[in-house]
Amino acid sequence: MTFGQQNTEAEAHAQLSFALEQGVDFFDTAEMYPVPTRAETTGRTELYVGSWLKTQQRDKIFLATKAAGPGRGLNWIRDGHLSFTRDNLHRALDGSLKRLQTDYVDLYQLHWPDRNVPLFGQYHFDPQSERDTVPLEVTLAALGESLRAGKIRHWGLSNETPWGVMTALRLADAMDLPRPVSVQNAYSLLNRTWENGLAEVAYRERIALLAYSPLGFGLLTAKYRNDPHSAGRMQLFKGFGARYAKPQVDKAVAAYADLAAAEGLTPTQLALGFASGRWCVGSVILGATSVQQLGEDLRACRTVLSPRVLAAIEDIHLAYPNPAP
């Protein structure tokens, strides 16, 4: 999601190649990337991934991308036709395939629901924000056409709620369509809301959590605690990351950083060791701006936390439950 904004095409290719060398084979992007999304840069991330992908053995890579939805004011994407209608979804997918220079994606995701739901730092459902939406049956029918055409191999949801996941499952079964295989939601030491209702749904329905923001926009590395002016999205783009501008976030970050230091771990090892080791996580989605940072993150994902550390994490979680929902 940084490619095309914080990273050049050459830097993007270097990161992708390094990741592949390290055994990573799952790459996730979106039509609206890089972030923060702007008319001048939208689509660049897919373009950079595509120019790298054409030099690789396609069947060795599991490629995911996402279709932007309505309600976010991104009217420069697809000329503002963002609702999940049949025509809009086909247009979105064809645009992504062209930029990615491939004839299929392994996982196609709805970036957020078409309907009114709390998103990206909002945490209350507000009936007053209801709007006209595309019936989910229409959206699933369009995805079914793309599945049958071979343009996508699997489909998934993102930024979803228990109601949304269960409704998608029910409709897929009723319409004799493949079920969603994954949900890409925020999950980290600062945001474990997945565990409240979605964890049971995913467990019983065999759906993987693709955990995004496992480092909480870099906050869980403690770099901003050590240097408030440290380079990163929170400094570069003012007002970006509203989810993390909440009263208990700094206290929770400090508590986790202190725990890591006491256990001889880096804050990154604590955060990524936690996320990658959870039973409910199918994959941890990392976003790095350099090969060096990516290498540190990949090594940290292999960290196995002891029962003592996990118990201490629970104590902090109880003191500061989900400070960045």
Residues labelled as active-site residues: 33
79 Rama class: left (phi>0) / alpha (psi -120 to 50) / beta: left
- In the chain, the amino acid numbered 107 is L
Q: How far is CA 155 from CA 7, 19, 20, 174, in A?
A: 28, 24, 23, 17
278-313 as b/e: b if 16+ CB within 10 A: bebbbbbbbbbbeeebbebbbebbebebeeebeebb
Separation of alpha carbons 111 and 185, rounded Å: 10
Query: In sequence order, what DSSP letters do the residues of 269-304 get, joined into one string?
Result: HHHHHHHHH-TTEEEEPP--SSHHHHHHHHHHTT--
Please state, in angstroms and rounded to a whole number, the distance separating the CA atoms of residues 203 and 302: 23
Question: By the 8 A CB rule, do 94 and 142 touch?
Answer: no
The rounded distance, in Å, linking the Cα atoms of 66 and 77 is 13
213 to each of 12, 270, 283, how far by Cα in Å? 19, 14, 12
Instruction: Identify the H or E element spanning 268.
Output: helix 267-277
Q: Please state, in angstroms and rounded to a whole number, the distance separating the CA atoms of residues 247 and 76.
A: 34
Amino acid at 121: G
